[in-house]
């Protein structure tokens, strides 16, 4: 009788450990996207200013606007050319998300001491955390920044370059 109980117990353990097998049909997917094309459609331009008698700054907001603010008493000579940098992205996938990055700063060189610019890329409207392509796969964004102008900055034109990158999120 002991042998029968032990044999029954071993058989029951084997049945429990085998269990049942289940199979499901799983899916996989891939999306191929085209290359993005990025172009600057308007240059970042801080405008025309009289040479300040104190260290000053000019700040342009990274939006479709000529809005600016100043510190240090710098005086505007002409607002005709003030503008944030404007960029166009094409070749995107409709409704896909993308991110924008740019250099943190650049230097404008000219006839006098170079001037630094702390760059500020546009941030997507809250609550979005990424930009979104329109139904045609296109988008626009802006870059602003803060220009630091030295005391009695030499008269003349100053220019510089900076890198901007877009990438699918």
135-165: per-residue pLDDT in tens? 999 999 999 999 999 999 999 999 999 999 9
Dihedrals φ, ψ of 128, to 5°?
Answer: -65, 145
Domain membership flag for residue 143: yes
Q: What is the pLDDT of residues 119-132, one digit of tens each?
A: 999 999 888 899 99
**Number of domains the chain contains:** 1
CATH number at residue 148: 2.60.40
Q: What is this structure's pTM?
A: 0.82
Domain membership flag for residue 74: yes
Domain membership flag for residue 72: yes
Domain membership flag for residue 6: no
pLDDT band at 4 (very low <50, low <70, confident <90, very high): low
Closest CA relative to residue 72, chosen from 89, 53, 85, 91: 53
Say how many C-beta atoms besides its own lie within 10 A of residue 89's C-beta. 20
Task: Give mean pLDDT, residues 60-64.
Answer: 94
Domain membership flag for residue 119: yes
């Amino acid at each position: 009788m002991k042998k029968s109980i032990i044999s029954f117990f071993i058989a029951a353990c084997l049945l429990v450990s085998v269990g049942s097998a289940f199979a499901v049909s799983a899916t996989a997917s891939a999306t191929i996207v085209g290359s993005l094309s990025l172009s600057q459609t308007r240059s970042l331009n801080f405008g025309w200013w009289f040479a300040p008698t104190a260290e000053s700054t000019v700040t342009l907001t990274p939006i479709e606007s000529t809005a600016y603010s100043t510190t240090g008493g710098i005086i505007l000579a002409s607002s005709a050319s003030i503008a944030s940098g404007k960029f166009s992205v094409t070749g995107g996938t409709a409704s896909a998300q993308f991110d924008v990055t740019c250099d943190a700063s650049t230097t404008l060189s000219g006839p006098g001491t170079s001037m630094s610019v702390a760059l500020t890329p546009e941030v997507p409207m809250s609550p979005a955390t990424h930009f979104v392509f329109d139904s045609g796969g296109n988008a626009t964004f802006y870059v602003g920044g803060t220009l630091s102008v030295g005391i009695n900055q030499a008269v003349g034109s100053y220019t510089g370059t900076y890198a901007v990158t877009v990438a699918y999120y």
